[in-house]
């Protein structure tokens, strides 16, 4: 059985986390081995880097390089072995997030991130990317209401709007890989859409 690499993306507060559980149960019920993971993170080294990136103010290039460091370790330790073993890898964020947050949000030039992506995982891309899309002001209001918002979640509305726009641009560029889901709909409606997408991509 071939492995399947599915990534979940979206601005903070777009509701993606709610649907990871559903996807995991759905594939497990179909007899697949499921590996749930996240970026930045997913390994001991990656989780240490996550703490740094989410909690400490830093230069944007340092931020970008740390995220790719975590990604390199994650690919080596978790993602590639799981895919080689035929598992379904459900990854909460991947390189599309770097294009959205670091390029769209913070203004890092795209060619720099393209070069880092080529270096880190040139031959590997997600099979399917579910992009949870929600109005930026609604999403931001949700995360601001949470008790401990991190460095990204505390950004202003204009930042959220730039990140969202960059995600949507990426989805338009790669319509075969991306599926845009309206995170503003009910959980049941989003799950029904996810089922249709999975049936189309995976069978």
140 near ligand TMP (CB under 6 A): no
Please give the structure tokens belonging to residue 70. Answer: 């975590």
| Residue pair 183/18 in contact by the 8 Å Cβ criterion | no
CA dihedral sign of residues 83, 173, 190, 163: positive
CA distance 22 to 17: 10
Closer Cβ to ligand TMP, 115 or 192, answer by number? 115
Taking the C-alpha atoms of residue 151 and residue 182, their distance in angstroms, rounded to an integer, is 25
**What token pair was written down for 48?**
């240490």
Which residue number, 71 or 87, has a Cβ lying nearer to ligand TMP? 71
40 makes contact with ligand TMP (CB under 6 A): yes
Length of the chain: 203
* Shortest distance (Å) from residue 144 CB to ligand TMP: 13
By beta-carbon proximity to ligand TMP, the closer residue of 55 and 192 is 55
Site string for ligand TMP, 78-97 (x = CB under 6 A): --------------xx---x
Nearer to ligand TMP, 3 or 15 (CB): 15
Q: What would the two tokens of residue 29 be?
A: 């019920």
Residues that bind ligand TMP (CB under 6 A): 12, 38-40, 54, 67, 92-93, 97-98, 101-102, 152-153
């Amino acid at each position: 059985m071939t492995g399947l690499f599915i990534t979940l993306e979206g601005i903070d507060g777009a509701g993606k986390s709610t649907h990871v559980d559903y996807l995991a149960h759905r594939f497990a019920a179909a007899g697949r081995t499921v590996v749930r993971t996240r970026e930045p993170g997913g390994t001991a080294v990656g989780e240490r880097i996550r703490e740094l990136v989410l909690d400490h103010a830093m230069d944007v290039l340092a931020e970008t390089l740390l995220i790719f460091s975590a990604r390199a370790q994650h690919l080596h330790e978790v993602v590639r072995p799981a895919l080689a073993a035929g598992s379904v890898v459900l990854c909460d964020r991947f390189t599309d997030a770097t294009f959205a947050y670091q390029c769209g949000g913070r203004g890092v030039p795209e060619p720099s991130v393209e070069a880092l992506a080529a270096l880190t995982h040139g031959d590997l891309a997600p099979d399917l990317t579910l992009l949870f899309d929600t109005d930026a002001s609604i999403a931001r209001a949700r995360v601001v209401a949470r008790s401990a918002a991190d460095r990204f979640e505390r950004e202003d509305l204009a930042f959220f709007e730039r990140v969202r726009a960059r995600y949507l641009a990426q989805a338009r560029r790669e319509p075969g890989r991306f599926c845009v889901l309206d995170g503003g709909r009910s959980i049941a409606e989003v799950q029904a859409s996810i089922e249709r997408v999975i049936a189309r991509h995976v069978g």
